[in-house]
Every structure is written in C-alpha cells, then in structure tokens.
Amino acid sequence: MTMKKLTFFCILLLPLMFAGCFALPYEAPALSPPYVAQPSPREFFAVPVARGDIKLEANPIAIYRPARIEIQRFPINGVLVQGIYVTFGDEVLEGDIIASLYAPEIQSEFDELSDRYARLNMELDLLIQRRELTRRLAEESGEPVNDTLFTAPVANLRSELDLLQVLLAHVGSLNEGRYLRATMDGRVSNVASFSEGMRTDSRVAIAVISDQAFSSFVVQGDEVELMNVGDRFEMTLDDEVFLMEVIDPDEFGFIRELVVREEDEDGPTEAFLAFADALPRQGSTARGMLHIPLDQVIDVLYIPVSSLHRYEGRNFVYVLEDGVRTVRDVVPGFEGEGHIEIISGLSEGELIIQ
C-alpha cells in the first residue's frame, strides 16, 4: 500500500473513532448519603400550683372631677394662633398668659403709640421745667414774669396727650385681646397641641384649668350600689395605690343634681370619692381603677384560670411530668382575680402547662 493510500485510509477511520468515543456507557454520579433530621425537644411554658388567697372584686373606673374647672378658649374664629405657652400639669395663676394670637400690626401700632406718648410726656415735662425756670429767674431779678411763650405749647401737648391716651386705651384693648389669660388659679389638666398655621375656633378649648384645692373622683354605673358614704376602697392611679373614701358631695360644696334610676328613685347612679390620706403627684392621670372586694377564700391551692380546660362537663389541666405532658382531671372551686381554686387533683408545686 502506498503512502498516499495509507493516509487516505486513516482519514476515513478518524470519524469512526470519534463516534465510538461518544457511544461509551454513561455512569451516573454517586448520591450523597441521606440526612437524618434530629427532632428538637418540645418546650412548654409551665407555672407551679401555688397556695394563697383568692379575692373577687369589682373594678369600676373612677373619673377625676375637680371641684371647679375653667375652659380657656378664644372668643373669635379663624385667627392665627401665635403660640400656646402652657403644658399639661403646669400650675398657673389668674391672669397668666395661656396663649396668644398672631396680630403684628396691632402690636406695632400699640408700640408706636406708646413710644409717642412717652416722648410727648417727656417734651411736656421739659417745657414745664423751662417755664418754671423762667418764672424763678424773673422773680430773682425783680422783672415781671412773662410765661406766655409756654402757654400755647403746653396746652397743645396736653391736648395731643389726651388724644393719644384715648387711642392707646383703644389699641391697648385690641392688643390685650391677642392674649388668652388664665381665669383662675389652678393646674392645666388639658391643653391643645399647637402646630404652625393653627387658627382659633371658639368651640375648641385651648386649655382646661382645674382647681385642685379639693380633688374628687366620680364613679357611675351599677357598682355605685356597692358604695356607701364613709366606705374606704383602694384605687390604682398611675401604677400607685391610694386609699379613697366615699363622700357626700353636698358636704363638700358640690352642687350637682344626682341622677336617679327609674326603677329605684332612692338610688343615685353616681358616687364621689376623695383621697383618704396621701395625695398623688400633681398632674396625675384622670382615670383610676377602684378595688371593691366582693368575696375571697383564704389559704387554698390555685392556678391561673387560663390553665384550666373545660370540655363537656370535664375539668382538666395539662401537667408537666419529667418533661412529658399528661392530662389530669381536677375539681375547681372559687374563681377570682384571674386565678381559680383547685379543690382536688393537684398538689402544691406541680407544674401546669399554660
């Protein structure tokens, strides 16, 4: 075979060799070993069975009612408010400025008139002093007194001052109308929130001033039947507990017609309370929660009411024993203040799942 034929034969074999390479069997990649998830232990929120007293009480809301309040508002509408200068709890005296209106033209005119009045007064005083000096010099020299030069200027100045005084009184009253002043001594128990562009509204209070010389709280509703004059109850106010006494409003100067029930003409629907001993800090919250005891049990086992389950007449709880939840039937008893007595079925210290 010649060299030319051998070369041609090799060229023919090359495609066959490449095709044979692609026809080789395919081996799939090896799979990764399986992952076995480890179950995490279940966590329970549990509380222990406790022993103690359970109280049942009524908790009506008592609303702060001062002996006197004054609502501070501008008598005009649509005027820009320049600023409000008091905050909740501030102590104010009668006449103190609460807020002001934006009226620069009135203030400017009042300032100009005041300056002119002061300047003319100074001119009049100087003119009178010159007249007196002229008279004294004439008397000392023995010459006749001639003060006619001062008569007309003094009269003119006095006339102009009289006119200015009238104008000042008028503009002064307009300028005073820019200010809202406290109408009595007391503390600010409510105040509007000031913002740029705020305008007056004769129906909207800028601030409320309360006379706290004597502070009372009023309770309304069915719980009033549980309260008699002289009774004392605890009241939570601003996270503090105060002792309150039910009072007769007529004895403390309250002029208020008590609303009576239609079905019971002798039963008022309002009860008034006053602080029996310590007073709260000034500017305190205007709502308190009374604690009126109704019933109680002493030295009993109890659990949270939310831990007790009821189903078709059955009462049971979930007890945590060695990390395992088990069902336990119980006999419940007295209920109050979010707790319930357990007569039987549990022991003190056992953990109850919430």
Rounded Cα distance, 336 and 347, in Å: 20
Give residue 16's pLDDT band: very low, low, confident or very high (50, 70, 90). Answer: low
Q: Is 89 left (phi over 0), alpha (psi -120 to 50) or beta?
A: left
User: Which of 14-23, 62-71, 324-333 is modeled with the greatest confidence?
Assistant: 324-333
What does the pLDDT average to over 22-45?
A: 63
Give residue 301's pLDDT band: very low, low, confident or very high (50, 70, 90). Answer: very high
- Whole-number pLDDT of residue 268: 60
In this predicted model, which residue has the larger pLDDT, 173 or 36?
173
pTM of the model: 0.48
What is the secondary structure of 86-154 as a DSSP string? --TT-EE-TT-EEEEE--HHHHHHHHHHHHHHHHHHHHHHHHHHHHHHHHHHHHHHTPPP--HHHHHHH
Q: Which amino acid is at 186?
A: G
CA-derived radius of gyration, the chain = 46
Rounded Cα distance, 354 and 352, in Å: 6
Give residue 262's pLDDT band: very low, low, confident or very high (50, 70, 90). Answer: very low
Rounded Cα distance, 252 and 245, in Å: 13
- Whole-number pLDDT of residue 263: 45
- Whole-number pLDDT of residue 255: 43
Rounded Cα distance, 74 and 169, in Å: 21
Give residue 334's pLDDT band: very low, low, confident or very high (50, 70, 90). Answer: very high
Distances in Å between the Cα of 13 and the Cα atoms of 20, 66, 70 are 11, 114, 114
* 240 has a pLDDT exceeding 90: no
* 284 has a pLDDT exceeding 60: no
Q: What is the pLDDT of residues 46-64, one digit of tens each?
A: 899 999 999 999 999 998 8
Give residue 259's pLDDT band: very low, low, confident or very high (50, 70, 90). Answer: very low
Residue with tokens 């709502």: 287
Distances in Å between the Cα of 181 and the Cα atoms of 93, 138, 166, 178, 208 are 9, 55, 24, 10, 12
* 333 has a pLDDT exceeding 80: yes
Q: What is the pLDDT of residues 147-177, one digit of tens each?
A: 778 888 888 888 888 888 888 888 777 788 8
3-state secondary structure of 243: strand
- Whole-number pLDDT of residue 173: 78
* Percent above pLDDT 90 for the chain: 32
* 260 has a pLDDT exceeding 50: no
Structure tokens at 74: 């501008």
